[in-house]
Structure 1
């Protein structure tokens, strides 16, 4: 029986970047690699990490980057959220506009950044390495790798980028002293990436694609070019037995959409790793990867072994509907807690953290199991302070603008019940935001993929719910019965959608 008070358990922060900055040692010690993704990325077996928002893609990349000095590899994670993705196809490479130019623009960006990683390794060897370092520094100074590279790429899109060969000795002597553009410089980057040697591996991870709402066809050409460019670079590096790989961290729904126009989509899947934390129903759920995560993370920061976190909760927990006090049947503690999340690491860890904080305020001498009042206070704080904000984050960059995104959520909030139909939602939009009711179906799908609502199905009297994060191979049936997520039911004081 675990003796550690619940208030002393460790569940981390909602953003791995914040957790890493505030206490790097805690982040490293408490990181949980349940499915062996780290070794597969480091070895080059995997170069495409897929998963919905909150499944730990960024945390995995940060862990690999921050522990790279302890292993025989050099890794760096770059954030793509500042890149003007829709403008990449317009980047002047010296070629006609089209898919090939877009792919080569991405090849140039990825190889520039990959070489920046490889040349940070003091054991890297290649002919004329000092001059090559000057080239990479010149690209970095221009902004192809820095935090403000979005502004630089916009500048390059408006005027053809050139590199003065006079700065790098005899490296480009066959070019006759002429300035090089992206198209003419690209073969050199390819050659260097394939020919440098080192006893260490070099890994470039590209993150931040979740930070932009990518439900707009305007991004598809750019993202398709990115995925194709990364795949081709990795194949070329493997065939040359080069020192490293390029790894993309991307939402699986985005990859599924752009794969329709990718000629090598089925081949890319051979090198993909799905961060799938979904929990199967029944008793087996207690040993699922998601529960292993909270058990192992909660004790690692203190140097303890795995802790049975569920044992701190009563075996049955009765949910209470907000308005009206409607009670459900008492579900198991596992079902109760999971139904408040989207079956992602970020959600479950934040739920536990808010219950821990509530316990600190309400239980000066904590007991086991936790009092129901403490659990409910933590759930309320989690629902209002974390879950609603997380949904707002899902709409960041939405092409309809912040006001439309806010309207989509407010219309959902101001509905009478948590079980409703498409017509109910449309009427809420018409009442509160006249004119936007024509976008009801679009908004409902966005809310579905954000995890705010799901479908209720009745199969011969047996009812079950389908949420995107629990089954990410499904789409919303807008004609069917819709149910608000349990966390929003708490946050917005509504009656439960199920009795």
Structure 2
């Protein structure tokens, strides 16, 4: 068989959901399991998936589901993914929760609401399994009916939270609980304590099948509402406790939460470091090595295309020529040029490869000019769109609305100073004190990196997140934004 043309290689889709919907078997077969998830699932050593936008958290969740289905049979795996739109339908969005419902002084109520909400979801999943002990228990079926009548069974989280806070509902769990609670079986359980009882019920349920509950979309509805961040902190706090109980009970239930890195950083509570250290999988493709060729993202792309990284590299010219209109044109190694034009995430590498395939005609080859054109298109269409979406909710609206204007007015990509950024802020009609917030967002988003004048070394958060942000500057602007806004690389130079 002859060599497959670059245009005919398969690099996946930007959306894991789309890729799985199109061909789940190919997705599973070509998934690059960098974190040895297949083995870690048996140990249940994580429930929280943390990573930047586009790093593959949703793809990892889909892989977990498909892997379990392949291992145990599709009929023996019950899986449900809740995005925030499903967790909180439009009439009661999570971001609309106010301090009337959630506050530092009432964290126990929020925790109790999440415990009840998660237990309700698992209870529903177990009832849908005809072979489970709960599905064959008349008392459990009767409880399900009473939960529906009480407006709890299908409620979104804000609705459950309100009911727990009001604490006006009580339900009897007679005959459903055993052990130390046996003496209380005839008593009515108030809704504020119902989560603990229902949690015990699902943990003790018997089934030969497997259950996966995933919560995704924590980067879709975010904002500056303090109550919202307290709500997410409660989810992770309760989630970790639930996760450990599932392990201790040797339960066939599994629970996962996907969370964006910059969102997780905003969620502040006492045990956040412990959760990050003991129960989190960091979906991070940033490479600590200095050689772009060694980035695991090439292994990711090669796995999708069903070739080796070296075979993929053979499609590329050795260098990409830039600055052809300047007095000092440069040749940048192609592998470095492509990698640094993205923010080192699978989604952006896939999007750039697909843009490059659009530039290559049928039967044609990858050239320096075609790579530059693909990067320009990727930067101006895909990267900018993604950046603006990420800014929504994390940046105050007045800054987010001026983001393109703020970035395009920078004098150069190299050695961006705090004063440069401040002038852009003022020129956009904003107060200069917005500069610090903008700079920190750009760093967390991997759009500027710390620049060391003495060594010329650049530290981007998305590639080396162990480095802390250098708030005083100077910084280096991301290559993709430099091309998107036609910003010169250095002061007084033409952009190549």
What residue in structure 2 maps to residue 408 of structure 1?
A: 403
**In structure 1, what is the Cα distance between the partners aligned to 2:317 and 2:278?**
43
Judge conservation of contact 1:50–1:57 (CA < 8 Å) in 2: yes
Q: 1:326 to 1:269 in 2, by over 3 A?
A: farther
User: What secondary structure does 1:443 align onto?
Assistant: helix
- After superposition, residues 85-484 of structure 1 pair within 5 angstroms as 87=97, 98-126=106-134, 129-133=137-141, 135-136=143-144, 149=156, 152=159, 156=163, 162=169, 181-213=190-222, 217-258=226-267, 261-263=269-271, 265-266=273-274, 269-283=277-291, 285-299=292-306, 308-320=311-323, 325=326, 329-359=330-360, 363-367=361-365, 370-398=366-394, 400-401=396-397, 403-419=398-414, 420-433=416-429, 435-459=430-454, 462-484=455-477
Q: 1:235 to 1:450 in 2, by over 3 A?
A: same
How much does 1:345 deviate? Answer: 1.0
Judge conservation of contact 1:209–1:250 (CA < 8 Å) in 2: yes
What residue in structure 2 maps to residue 16 of structure 1?
A: 16
TM-score, with structure 2 as normaliser? 0.84
Farther off after superposition, 263-272 or 485-494: 263-272
Q: 1:430 to 1:306 in 2, by over 3 A?
A: closer
Judge conservation of contact 1:351–1:378 (CA < 8 Å) in 2: yes
Q: Deviations over 1:264-298 (max 9, x none)?
A: 74265223222121124444x43442111000112
How much does 1:262 deviate? Answer: 2.3
Q: 1:344 to 1:468 in 2, by over 3 A?
A: same
Q: 1:472 to 1:398 in 2, by over 3 A?
A: same
How much does 1:381 deviate? Answer: 1.3
**In structure 2, what is the Cα distance between the partners aligned to 1:429 and 1:79?**
35
**In structure 2, what is the Cα distance between the partners aligned to 1:377 and 1:96?**
52
Judge conservation of contact 1:85–1:223 (CA < 8 Å) in 2: no
How much does 1:340 deviate? Answer: 0.5
Q: Deviations over 1:20-77 (max 9, x none)?
A: 3344454344332222124423652322222111110011112323454333343322
Q: Does 1:495 align with 2:488?
A: yes
Judge conservation of contact 1:91–1:156 (CA < 8 Å) in 2: no
**In structure 1, what is the Cα distance between the partners aligned to 2:227 and 2:241?**
23
User: What secondary structure does 1:479 align onto?
Assistant: coil
Judge conservation of contact 1:451–1:485 (CA < 8 Å) in 2: yes
Judge conservation of contact 2:13–2:19 (CA < 8 Å) in 1: yes
Unpaired runs of 5+ residues, structure 2, are 89-93
User: What secondary structure does 2:401 align onto?
Assistant: helix
TM-score, with structure 1 as normaliser? 0.83
Give the root-mean-square deviation of aligned CA atoms: 3.5
**In structure 1, what is the Cα distance between the partners aligned to 2:406 and 2:384?**
14
What residue in structure 2 maps to residue 77 of structure 1?
A: 81
How much does 1:163 deviate? Answer: 6.5
Q: How many residues align?
A: 476
Judge conservation of contact 1:10–1:298 (CA < 8 Å) in 2: yes
- After superposition, residues 19-98 of structure 1 pair within 5 angstroms as 19-41=19-41, 43-72=43-72, 73-80=77-84, 83=88, 84=94, 87=97, 98=106
Q: 1:421 to 1:234 in 2, by over 3 A?
A: same
Q: 1:476 to 1:250 in 2, by over 3 A?
A: same
How much does 1:164 deviate? Answer: 6.4
How much does 1:214 deviate? Answer: 5.8
Farther off after superposition, 417-426 or 482-491: 417-426
**In structure 1, what is the Cα distance between the partners aligned to 2:170 and 2:105?**
21
**In structure 2, what is the Cα distance between the partners aligned to 1:392 and 1:315?**
33
